[in-house]
Chain A
Amino acid sequence: MRFRDNKPKDAGGNYSYQLRIFFVLGLVTLLFASIIFRLYFVEVTSHRNYLVQAATQHGELTLIPAVRGEIYLSNGKKAQPMLVATNVDKKLVFVSGKQMTDSDRNLAANKLAPILGTAASDLLAKMISGNQNYLPLKHQLSDSDAQTIQSLNLTGVHLDSEEVRFYPQGKLASQVLGFLGYSQKGDTKLGRYGVEQSYESELAGRAGVKSATGTEQGPIAGDDIYLTLDPAIQYESQQVLDETVQKHGADSGSVVVINPKTGAVLAMANYPDFDPNNYGKETDPAVYNNNAISSDYEPGSVFKAFTMAAGLNENAVTPQSTYVDLGSIQVDDRVIKNSDPKPRGVQTMTQVLDESLNTGAVYVQQLIGQDKFKEYVERFGFGKDTGVDLPGENSGKLKQLDSKGNIFYANASFGQGISVTPIQLIEAYTAIADGGTMMKPYVVDRVVHPDGSTAQTNPTPLGQVLNSAAASQLSAMLVDVVENGHGKKAGVAGYFIGGKTGTAQVAFTDKSGYDPSKNIGTFIGFGPVGDPAFLMLVRINAPKDVAFAESSAAPAFGQIATFILNYLQIPPTR
């Protein structure tokens, strides 16, 4: 006896009917799974949020704001950290128009005008046209002004308390700290820029809720954050940077100082800066940006150190290797010249860095080849974020190295045609300063939770970029730059300081080519060589009276380096 199979089959002989049922069942299961997942998210994960939202909408609960965490500078040498961001109660003065007659308004306007620094007529107009229940006239009154207003005892004029974010050190490290501003909608306060933004969730804490019958759940205070910045080094860096920029009529500048052994940032300064207590008064919001991490540029000759590092690490050259300098070199259809195009004849690799010879950098790049050169550029961390714990980092551009033309690689060998940020340069130089290991830069030393427990940041090594011999050789060559080359003004008597100048050309923004009237001076160095305590970058943008970094950035470096060695009480090494 034979049974007939009535199930429809497709061309391949499979049971398409079964397949369809299976498909529908799968779809239904998926639908249910997603509903269950969503229910779990709403009922369990976000239960508290929805509960609070519903209760506050019905007026059953009120939110109790959490106390925002404070920010300190670690103050490495001293036991007491320095408070740089806190919350203070300030008074605001408001008027309640409903309680006032016309004569009360006139009297209040006349009495308050000199205290609030506003014209009496303006105050009066505001009182008449503004909210008649609650009209704030001035926020953040000084204690003396608040007392004076209180003693006037004016009808309809009242004082109220408000908690405000206060930065007791004013402009100190303002672009690292950021400020407490408002969200895009303008209804919520939240950290903007700097650590205030990048550590918003830690600093903000969690609001509590209060029911009509009493407190239901208390707020959880935010974490306190201790930065790696040293207040004295930060202050000195800002002072020297301000003086240097103003002395040379430059547009702007940056200084970054780190401990090359750990990557801990000791100072990070930019000019111009701002006072976070009065951030709203700034006319150009660009001043909030931390240019040390966000502003990329063609670095110029400071990049020659990486070209030389690649050559040494690949055993393509030694400090004593020679080549013949003709003052210029033909690459593809272009001629690359030195800053001083006179032929120098036979030159060593040490002299290439001393005299900052473009032809020497091109020579080394061509010895190791395009692929190896690109590999080293990437190995040093260029073209990607360093991951420093601050917002707004720029990864720079290495697009030219995607082309195969020799000229692009030749230009890159002395820091042209590619763009990098100061923090990338600093990170890459850690490998040269401290035995070949590159360290990740960071600004938060530790986060202290309200219960007293601490989350300490551990230094992060990013791998051995160079072997220790190559790093030592290059360090010695960089000492020679400071002793005998263009970096003399960066030297500190009694110490071996290694470093490199870089005078970068600035590309036109509206056409191809470089603007001959502008340059960016950079000096990067470290000391004392052998056991470095600091690694520093100074960048001066568009100085008006000097043509080379040896007269703009290098002297500023020397001044700050002298202070640091003195401050850290490091005995002379020679």
Chain B
Amino acid sequence: MLLLSMILGLGLVYVFSINSIATANYQIKRMSTQLSQLDNTHKDLELKNSTLQSVATIQAETSQLNLIPADKMMYLRDDNVALR
């Protein structure tokens, strides 16, 4: 009787473990896919960022917006302005 209960108990543990491992494997696979998708998205965003940062893009945008280059700068010094 004791032997039978032990076999049954071990069987249950075995089934439970197998089930857990299978579930964990599915989760790992799903997360790996997600990680790979996120990596791809990250790469795409990084490339977009690089393109948007390029001076050529910025110049094209500024001319489209009719912005004028600020070529005459005035720097304020301490003695030019009231400090308080």
Contacts and interface: CB of A to CB of B under 8 A. Distances in A.
A80 B46 CA distance: 11
A75 B54 CA distance: 11
B73 interface: yes
B47 interface: yes
Interface residues of A, number: 21
Nearest to B40: A89
A473 B50 CA distance: 44
Given A88-B43, A231-B55, A236-B55, A168 B71 contact: no
A172 interface: yes
A169 B48 CA distance: 11
- For the residues of B in contact with A, the DSSP-based class is helix
Interface string B31-58: 0000000001001001101110111100
6 contacts: A78-B53, A83-B50, A86-B46, A166-B47, A169-B54, A566-B73
Contacts of A572: 75
Interface in A126-169: 166, 168-169
Contacts of B71: 566
Interface of B: 40, 43, 46-47, 49-51, 53-56, 71, 73, 75, 77
A231 B71 CA distance: 20
Contacts of B54: 82, 168-169, 172, 231, 235
A231 B47 contact: no
A86 B51 contact: no
Given A83-B50, A566-B73, A235 B43 contact: no
Interface of A: 75, 78, 80, 82-84, 86, 88-89, 166, 168-169, 172, 231-232, 235-236, 566, 569, 571-572
Given A235-B55, A572-B75, A82 B50 contact: yes
B47 A86 contact: yes
Contact of A168 (B40, B51, B75, B77): B51
Contacts of B51: 168
Given A566-B73, A571-B75, A169 B47 contact: no
- For the residues of A in contact with B, the DSSP-based class is mixed
Contacts of B47: 83, 86, 88, 166, 168
Given A84-B50, A571-B77, 19 more contacts: A78-B53, A82-B50, A82-B54, A83-B47, A86-B47, A88-B43, A89-B40, A168-B47, A168-B51, A169-B54, A231-B54, A232-B55, A235-B55, A235-B56, A236-B55, A566-B71, A569-B73, A571-B75, A572-B75
Please give me the 3 A-B residue pairs with the lowest Cβ-Cβ distance, nearest first: A571-B75, A235-B55, A83-B50
Nearest to B54: A169
Nearest to A168: B50
A232 B53 CA distance: 10
Nearest to B51: A168
A89 B37 CA distance: 12
A168 B54 CA distance: 9
Contacts of A236: 55
Nearest to A171: B56
Given A80-B49, A566-B71, A566-B73, A86 B43 contact: yes
Contacts of A231: 53-55
A565 to B, nearest CB: 9
Nearest to A235: B55
A86 B71 CA distance: 35
Contacts of A84: 50
A471 to B, nearest CB: 27
A144 to B, nearest CB: 15
A169 B50 contact: yes
Contact of A83 (B49, B56, B73, B75): B49
Contacts of A232: 55
A498 to B, nearest CB: 21
A412 to B, nearest CB: 40
B79 to A, nearest CB: 13
A40 B2 CA distance: 60
Contact of A80 (B53, B55, B56): B53
Contacts of B55: 231-232, 235-236
Contacts of A571: 75, 77
Contacts of A166: 47
Contacts of B75: 571-572
Nearest to A493: B72
A75 B53 CA distance: 10
B80 to A, nearest CB: 11
A83 B51 CA distance: 9
A231 B73 CA distance: 22
A82 B77 CA distance: 33
A346 to B, nearest CB: 42
Contacts of A172: 54
A86 B49 CA distance: 13
A166 B46 CA distance: 12
A75 B49 CA distance: 13
Contacts of B77: 571
Nearest to A234: B55
A89 B43 CA distance: 10
A86 B48 CA distance: 12
A80 B50 CA distance: 10
Contacts of A169: 50, 54
Nearest to A571: B75
A232 B55 CA distance: 6
A231 B55 CA distance: 8
Nearest to A169: B54
A236 B54 CA distance: 11
Nearest to A239: B55
Contacts of A78: 53
B56 A82 contact: no
A82 B53 contact: yes
